[in-house]
């Protein structure tokens, strides 16, 4: 065998697996389809589409991918470190309801079981409270006061190093075993990649330490097949087939391994497993592709009209407001100059009928031409704009299937179709607009097609007590196969209602704790 474990994807699930398996003495290879990025490789603004976006057909090999389905548009991360390169660093813990619902309910007392792993995940990711609030956050605070819920406002807990701005410092987290770091400058550019070495991306913690333990990382390669060797259940190991994801003409490689960990994120893992169920891994559960969830998010931008304010100052998500038992609102920003999103934005209108929405958009342009002229042509979009990220714990699920052309498609599974027009969110947009004297716009796909967008796609290979109720068991092992695991957002089996990376990290730590040391194998 070439390796004990091949890990497909280097996001949160993959990075935790790489470190813990290498610590247990296993020979590990991580295959990642995106690129390696050093601090200065990240784009200065999102106008640099080649470095910001992942669109291989156009030769764009950046850190963010946009995938549009009939019921949902998904943004996700690509590169060594997965979604941590592009994410907004926010690390909330879900409320109790998450641990007591969904297909994993009854497999464990999850809240109690995962508690120590959340603590470990927070330490490993270098979680700290945001120490400074800026204009966008102060707007949220003012809105909370206007609504009389100021007690529900708080700065976020984030994976950022708040040392001295731009000053190099020896590893502050791992007793000198980690890389040197620099303090955050509050430039707001976390979602185009941190050029200041302050964001605690996975290549600076889990992956860095895994490499030091001997784990190998192969970037710019995509796994397209996983075949059991001899026996049909993988007990003799697997052949993993991969090819370059960035070269036009590429050599295909075959690697032999005892075990495989699928950590390609929901879009990578579910897409690959749906393909393999038809071919190399037919024993996979029929539940594959089901229980796909978002956090029931809406993303609406509000552009302030007061010239002296700078909404791009701060960290990507600096503050949070719990607006009711099931919902909360976060303030997101891009760094100054990252104005490209405005190309995809239209005036924010709501309603179930597309004709009436189009009419409302036209009316807005006619009634307030000066305001929209300012938004699109005069002021820096990022400098003047915050993105309101609204999330809910209330649940509805989608199903992903593979069509005859091999494309992944969505359909509604349970509950109502996800919508960008959630009544609570509409009220909060109004309240924020009032608090900062702003104008709201939103992603054209939401306004025109009524398709909501999410950065938090979850599920598709969820936990169950057996293959009739889930794809994996409570320790993340795939039903029907030996030494095969799913450890990433696809394993999330209920709606956390909050940003999920901390939870993915904690569950990955839990799964890894169930694997014995190599020298204890019988
Ligand atoms: C703009 C943005 C902001 C966000 N902000 C936050 C936030 O503040 N807090 C939070 O908790 N979450 C946030 N998220 C969500 C977070 O990034 C994801 O939930 C998280 O990264 C998912 O982790 P994962 O382990 O499922 O895999 P991912 O992090 O998605 O990583 C999967 C990796 O696998 C690779 N891959 C896929 N298929 C293959 C294959 N076949 N072969 C090789 N490699 C493959 C991909 O390139 C990718 O790098 C944000 C996301 C975005 C896009
Ligand atoms: S605010 Fe700027 S310096 Fe701080 S973590 Fe984000 S990108 Fe890095």
Q: Which atom from ligand 1 is nearest to the alpha carbon of 269?
A: 38
Mutating to test ligand 2, I would choose from 91, 186, 192 the residue with most ligand atoms within 8 A of its C-beta, which is: 186
Q: Give the residue whose CA is nearest to atom 6 of ligand 2.
A: 190
Higher pLDDT among residues 323 and 462, named by residue = 462
Q: Which pLDDT does position 330 carry in this prediction? A: 94
Counting ligands in written order, the one closest to the CA of 18 is 1
Average pLDDT estimate for 218-245: 95
Q: Which atom from ligand 2 is nearest to the alpha carbon of 160?
A: 5
Structure confidence at residue 251 as a pLDDT band (50, 70, 90) = confident
Output the CA 440–ligand 2 centroid distance in Å. 25
Q: Which pLDDT does position 204 carry in this prediction? A: 98
Ranges 46-55, 159-168, 348-357: which has the least confidence? 348-357
User: With contact defined as beta carbons under 8 Å apart, do 261 and 14 qualify?
Assistant: yes
Structure confidence at residue 414 as a pLDDT band (50, 70, 90) = confident
Query: What's the predicted TM-score (pTM) here?
Result: 0.96
User: With contact defined as beta carbons under 8 Å apart, do 499 and 506 qualify?
Assistant: no
Average pLDDT estimate for 313-337: 93
Q: Which atom from ligand 2 is nearest to the alpha carbon of 199?
A: 5
Rg (Cα) of the chain, in Å, rounded? 22
CA distances in angstroms from 213 to 6, 350, 406, 521, listed in the order given: 15, 53, 38, 20
Query: What's the pLDDT tens digit per position in 15-31?
Result: 999 999 999 999 999 99
Q: Which pLDDT does position 12 carry in this prediction? A: 98
Q: Give the residue whose CA is nearest to atom 4 of ligand 2.
A: 184
User: With contact defined as beta carbons under 8 Å apart, do 365 and 347 qualify?
Assistant: yes
Mutating to test ligand 1, I would choose from 199, 268, 453 the residue with most ligand atoms within 8 A of its C-beta, which is: 268
Average pLDDT estimate for 248-257: 92
Residue 199 has pLDDT above 90, yes or no: yes
Output the CA 166–ligand 2 centroid distance in Å. 10
Q: What are the residue numbers of the active site?
A: 456
3-state helix, strand, coil in the chain (%, to 5): 30, 25, 45
Output the CA 149–ligand 1 centroid distance in Å. 33
- Strands 153-155, 168-169: parallel, antiparallel or unpaired by DSSP? unpaired
Q: Which pLDDT does position 389 carry in this prediction? A: 92
Tell me which residues have their CB closer than 6 angstroms to ligand 1. Answer: 8-13, 31-34, 64, 75-79, 82-83, 86-90, 191, 222-223, 263-265, 268, 272, 317, 455-456, 488-489, 499-502, 504
368-376: long-range pairs with CB below 8 Å, 24+: 368/439, 371/305, 371/439, 372/347, 372/439, 374/303, 374/305, 375/303, 375/342, 375/439, 375/441, 376/342
Q: Which pLDDT does position 371 carry in this prediction? A: 87
Q: Which atom from ligand 2 is nearest to the alpha carbon of 192?
A: 7
Residues with Cβ < 8 Å from 131, sequence gap 6 or more?
155, 162
Q: Output the six-digit token pair for 340.
A: 């490209």
Q: What is the mean pLDDT of the chain?
A: 94
Tell me phi and psi for residue 273, to 5 degrees: -65, -35
Output the CA 86–ligand 1 centroid distance in Å. 8
Q: Which pLDDT does position 378 carry in this prediction? A: 76
CA distances in angstroms from 358 to 50, 69, 495, listed in the order given: 32, 21, 32
Structure confidence at residue 417 as a pLDDT band (50, 70, 90) = confident
Counting ligands in written order, the one closest to the CA of 293 is 1
Output the CA 200–ligand 1 centroid distance in Å. 14
Tell me phi and psi for residue 453, to 5 degrees: -110, 155
Q: Which pLDDT does position 294 carry in this prediction? A: 81
Structure confidence at residue 445 as a pLDDT band (50, 70, 90) = confident
Query: What's the pLDDT tens digit per position in 145-154?
Result: 999 999 999 9
Q: Which pLDDT does position 105 carry in this prediction? A: 94
- Strands 397-402, 484-486: parallel, antiparallel or unpaired by DSSP? unpaired
Q: Which pLDDT does position 394 carry in this prediction? A: 65
Q: Which atom from ligand 1 is nearest to the alpha carbon of 9?
A: 34
- Strands 73-77, 453-454: parallel, antiparallel or unpaired by DSSP? parallel
The distance from CA 249 to its chain's CA centroid, rounded to whole angstroms, is 30
Cβ atoms within 10 Å, residue 105: 14
Structure confidence at residue 47 as a pLDDT band (50, 70, 90) = very high
Higher pLDDT among residues 297 and 113, named by residue = 113
Tell me phi and psi for residue 318, to 5 degrees: -95, -20
Q: Output the six-digit token pair for 52.
A: 């910001």
Higher pLDDT among residues 520 and 198, named by residue = 198
Q: Which pLDDT does position 395 carry in this prediction? A: 66
Output the CA 485–ligand 2 centroid distance in Å. 34
Query: What's the pLDDT tens digit per position in 60-107?
Result: 999 999 999 998 999 999 999 999 999 999 999 999 999 999 999 999
Counting ligands in written order, the one closest to the CA of 90 is 1
Residue 231 has pLDDT above 80, yes or no: no
User: With contact defined as beta carbons under 8 Å apart, do 313 and 186 qualify?
Assistant: yes
Output the CA 9–ligand 1 centroid distance in Å. 9
Q: Which of the residue ranges 338-352, 399-413, 481-495 has the most confident prediction, judged by mean pLDDT?
A: 481-495
Closest CA to 491 of 457, 461, 471, 456: 461
Tell me phi and psi for residue 424, to 5 degrees: -60, -40
Q: Which pLDDT does position 139 carry in this prediction? A: 95
- In the chain, % of residues over pLDDT 70: 99
Q: Which pLDDT does position 494 carry in this prediction? A: 94
């Amino acid at each position: 065998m070439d390796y004990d474990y091949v890990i497909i994807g280097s996001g949160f699930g993959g990075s935790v697996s790489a470190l813990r398996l290498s610590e247990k003495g296993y020979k590990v290879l991580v295959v990642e389809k995106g690129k390696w990025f050093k601090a200065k490789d990240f784009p200065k603004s999102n106008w640099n589409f080649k470095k910001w976006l992942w669109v291989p057909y156009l030769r764009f090999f950046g850190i963010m991918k946009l995938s549009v389905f009939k019921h949902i548009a998904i943004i996700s991360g690509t590169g060594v470190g997965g979604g941590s390169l592009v994410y907004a660093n926010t690390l909330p813990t879900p409320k109790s309801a998450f641990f007591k619902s969904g297909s994993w309910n009854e497999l464990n007392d999850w809240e109690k079981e995962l508690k120590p792993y959340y603590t470990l995940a927070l330490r490993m990711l270098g979680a700290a409270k945001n120490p400074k609030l800026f204009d966008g956050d102060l707007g949220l605070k003012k809105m909370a006061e206007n609504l009389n819920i100021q007690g529900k406002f708080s700065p976020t807990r984030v994976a950022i190093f708040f040392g001295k701005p731009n000053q190099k410092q020896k590893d502050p987290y791992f007793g000198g075993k980690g890389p040197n770091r620099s303090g955050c400058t509050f430039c707001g550019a976390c979602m185009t990649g941190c050029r200041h070495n302050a964001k605690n991306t996975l290549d600076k913690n889990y992956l860095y330490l895994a490499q030091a333990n001997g784990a190998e990382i192969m970037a710019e390669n995509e796994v397209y097949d996983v075949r059991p060797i001899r026996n049909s259940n993988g007990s003799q190991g697997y052949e993993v087939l991969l090819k370059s994801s960035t070269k036009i003409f590429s050599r295909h490689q075959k690697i032999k391994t005892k075990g495989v960990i699928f950590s390609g994120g929901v879009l990578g893992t579910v897409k690959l497993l749906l393909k393999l169920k038809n071919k190399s891994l037919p024993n996979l559960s029929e539940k594959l592709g089901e229980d796909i969830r978002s956090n029931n998010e809406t993303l609406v931008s509000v552009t302030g009209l007061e010239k002296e304010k700078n909404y791009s100052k701060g960290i990507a998500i600096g503050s949070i407001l719990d607006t009711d038992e099931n919902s909360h609102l976060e303030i997101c920003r891009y760094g100054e100059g990252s104005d490209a999103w405005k190309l995809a934005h239209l005036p924010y209108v709501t309603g179930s009928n597309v004709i009436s929405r189009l009419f409302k958009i036209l009316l807005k342009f006619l009634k307030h031409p000066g305001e929209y002229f300012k938004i699109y042509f005069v002021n820096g979009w990022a400098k003047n704009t915050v993105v309101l990220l609204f999330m809910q714990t209330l649940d509805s699920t989608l199903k992903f299937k593979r069509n005859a052309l091999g494309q992944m498609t969505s359909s509604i599974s349970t509950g109502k179709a996800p919508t960008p027009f959630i009544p609570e969110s509409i009220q909060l947009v109004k309240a924020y607009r009032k608090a900062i004297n702003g104008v709201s716009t939103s992603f054209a796909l939401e306004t025109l097609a009524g398709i909501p967008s999410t950065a938090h796609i979850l599920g598709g290979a969820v936990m169950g007590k057996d293959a009739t109720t889930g794809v994996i068991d409570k320790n993340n092992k795939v039903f029907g196969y030996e030494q095969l695991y799913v450890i990433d957002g696809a394993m999330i089996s209920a709606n956390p209602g909050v940003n999920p990376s901390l939870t993915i990290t904690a569950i990955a730590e839990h799964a890894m704790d169930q694997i014995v040391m190599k020298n204890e194998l019988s």
